[in-house]
Structure 1
Amino acid sequence: MTTAPTTAGTVRRPSPERRRQRVLTVVLGVISLFTVAPLFAVVVLAVSPADAPTIPYALPDSLTLDNIVRVFTIGEFPLWLFNSFVYSTVSVIVVLLTASMAAYALARKRFPGRNALLWAIIATLMVPLQATLIPTFILVARLGGVNTLWGMILPTLANAQAVFLIRQFIRELPDDYFEAARLDGAGEWRTFVAIVLPLIRPVLATLAIFVFLWHWNDLLWPLVVGQSDQARTLTVGLATLNTETVSTANVMAATMVSFIPCLVIFAILQRQIVAGITAGGVKG
């Protein structure tokens, strides 16, 4: 096998496509630095001594965990953490269960008014939360749900976006699975549990992260419903720390503790998300 002779000293220029990739890499790297900078500042302030500068430019000379330990003694921080965990976890479980059941009926069952019901569900996505905040609070207050976790959770369980996304996923499932289930004598519930749920695990994992993050970071609704210190979630509690005589390092330590559960949830479910993306790419 012969190779074409090359002239000594000739510099091979990169192709236009490779130059575009390099420029894109640099741009994305700069954007990533701006994105990570606030997180870096939070972590550095959380592990810095009390006399460290408010705006960190580098790692301090000495690191300490005193701020993280002390934050659990500020106010009702452990209770706020527990309330946020219950608020987010219960909402994720119930939303995924009810949304997947509704999506299965809308995707695979034929009944009068199915399309009208679907469009009505989609139309609720166009209504902003602020427009329904006062009526929802009045209903929850009349039911005695103010300053309770169930009053905070109940109005957030009807998730139209989750229903729509799961329905689109179920529609793409092969009909052979459902025909085989009918021939095997499986009922609707067995078909849903044994066939539909295992096949839609990627979209359920993705929605689990989104729903968990939405509830974990939610501020407006928990602020309206949880009016007492014992009913506050972590986001509302962190907002109140800024109005109290609490050092910046302690507030940053509480903030760092607050995003650890989000990282854990993503680490647990990321394999399912990657599997769903891979399956979608192979199918396409």
Structure 2
Amino acid sequence: MTITRAGSVRAGTATAKAARPRAPKRRRWRRWPLVALLAVLSVLTVSPFVAMVVVALTPAGKPTVPAQWPESLTLDNLVQVLSASGFVGWTINSLVYALVSVVIILITSSMAGYAFAKKRFPGRDAMFWTFLATMMVPFQATLIPMFVLVNSLDGVDTFWGLIVPTLANSQAVFLMRQFILGLPDELFDAAKVDGASELRVYWTIVIPLTKPILATLGVFVFLWHWNDFLWPLVVGQSDATRTLTVGLTTLRTEETQLAVLMSSAAVSVIPCLLVFFLLQRYLVNSIAMTGLK
């Protein structure tokens, strides 16, 4: 009986060991539907961008996708867009509009987020939720009053009139406040015990610990302002302050080829892709840190 039991135990153990390597294979097969679904979604997402680039490189007058794949590609359309009068100025204006807005919004939103998250003062919560409620008001509803106010201050067709009204960003303040809430209070208490001023606490504790969310927010703010069209269209009334998104619309006439329009769209996307690839690792870090306490 004992031998039989031992033999059965050994046989069962051997069978279990032999069956263990098969488990990962089963899990791999279970992942294939998810992988296939992600692959299909990736193709659907990338296809419009690929079609835009192909059409932008198609010679004028030639068939384009999806009707027919072009037999040859050319850079003539890109050269025509880049050589357009005012293109360089529009690009510089867009960079100034986006980069200055990014810097100021990151500074002001991080300061406001730190105050709302870690400081105690009368009316803090009421002020925060009132400011957050402005997210519910569509921009189109405040466009005319904002333009009247900027016009009364002689801000139309100026850079400060283009930038300043967009700096009060409630979404940025909300993101910064939620991120700073997760920082340990002991760090701020220790800094106060050591006699650090509020500015030193902000510069040596808040800024270093919020780099991932600052980078993420910087990408979002840059994309918002680089792709912004309505407010620059209303305020920028000359080439001196006209942004790239507004300036490229002047190229759209009845005689303009589709390839030229796609070339202008492809050129406007390049800075967005560069910003994303440069700050991609910070985006991943910010997402990974959202679950940490």
- Please report the TM-score for the alignment, with normalisation by the length of structure 1: 0.89
Which residue of the other structure, out of 209, 219, 222, is the alignment partner of 1:212?
222
Aligned alpha-carbon RMSD (Å): 2.4
2:182 maps to 172
Letter in 2 for 1:2: A
1:261 maps to 271
Distance across 2 between alignment mates of 1:5 and 1:96: 57
Which residue of the other structure, out of 179, 203, 206, is the alignment partner of 2:213?
203
Distance across 2 between alignment mates of 1:238 and 1:20: 48
- Write the deviation string for residues 144-168 of structure 1: whole angstroms up to 9, x where unpaired: 1111222111100000111011011
Distance across 1 between alignment mates of 2:62 and 2:30: 42
Instruction: Tell me the percent identity.
Output: 56
Is 1:156–2:166 an aligned residue pair?
yes
Which residue of the other structure, out of 11, 14, 19, is the alignment partner of 1:2?
14
In the TM superposition, residue 107 of structure 1 has moved relative to its aligned partner by 1.0
Instruction: Judge conservation of contact 1:152–1:222 (CA < 8 Å) in 2.
Output: yes
In the TM superposition, residue 186 of structure 1 has moved relative to its aligned partner by 0.8
Which residue of the other structure, out of 41, 48, 55, is the alignment partner of 1:45?
55
2:99 maps to 89
Letter in 1 for 2:123: G
Which residue of the other structure, out of 239, 244, 248, is the alignment partner of 1:238?
248
Is 1:30–2:40 an aligned residue pair?
yes
Letter in 1 for 2:62: A
SS in 2 for 1:231: coil
Distance across 2 between alignment mates of 1:175 and 1:196: 11
Tell me which structure has the larger Cα radius of gyration: 2
1:9 maps to none
- Write the deviation string for residues 44-96 of structure 1: whole angstroms up to 9, x where unpaired: 12222223313356764333222222212223211111111111111111011
Instruction: Judge conservation of contact 2:77–2:260 (CA < 8 Å) in 1.
Output: yes
Distance across 1 between alignment mates of 2:62 and 2:186: 64
In the TM superposition, residue 138 of structure 1 has moved relative to its aligned partner by 0.3
Structure 2 unaligned residues grouped into runs of 5+? 1-12
SS in 1 for 2:143: helix
Which residue of the other structure, out of 238, 259, 280, is the alignment partner of 1:249?
259
Residues 5 and 180 of structure 1, relative CA distance in 2, 3 Å threshold:
closer
Letter in 2 for 1:81: T
Is 1:221–2:231 an aligned residue pair?
yes
Instruction: Judge conservation of contact 2:59–2:72 (CA < 8 Å) in 1.
Output: yes
2:5 maps to none
SS in 2 for 1:218: coil
In the TM superposition, residue 187 of structure 1 has moved relative to its aligned partner by 0.3
Instruction: Judge conservation of contact 2:63–2:69 (CA < 8 Å) in 1.
Output: no
- Please report the TM-score for the alignment, with normalisation by the length of structure 2: 0.87
Residues 77 and 227 of structure 1, relative CA distance in 2, 3 Å threshold:
same
Which deviates the most, 171-180 or 65-74?
65-74
Instruction: Judge conservation of contact 2:212–2:285 (CA < 8 Å) in 1.
Output: yes
In the TM superposition, residue 19 of structure 1 has moved relative to its aligned partner by 6.0
What are the residue-to-residue correspondences of 1:130-145 with 2, within 5 Å?
A: 130-145=140-155
Instruction: Judge conservation of contact 1:43–1:256 (CA < 8 Å) in 2.
Output: yes
Residues 61 and 154 of structure 1, relative CA distance in 2, 3 Å threshold:
same
In the TM superposition, residue 135 of structure 1 has moved relative to its aligned partner by 0.3
Instruction: Judge conservation of contact 1:45–1:56 (CA < 8 Å) in 2.
Output: no
Distance across 2 between alignment mates of 1:19 and 1:3: 22
In the TM superposition, residue 179 of structure 1 has moved relative to its aligned partner by 1.7
Letter in 1 for 2:212: P
Which deviates the most, 201-210 or 240-249?
240-249
Distance across 2 between alignment mates of 1:206 and 1:146: 31
Distance across 1 between alignment mates of 2:254 and 2:268: 19
1:280 maps to 290
Is 1:78–2:88 an aligned residue pair?
yes
Instruction: Judge conservation of contact 2:58–2:64 (CA < 8 Å) in 1.
Output: no
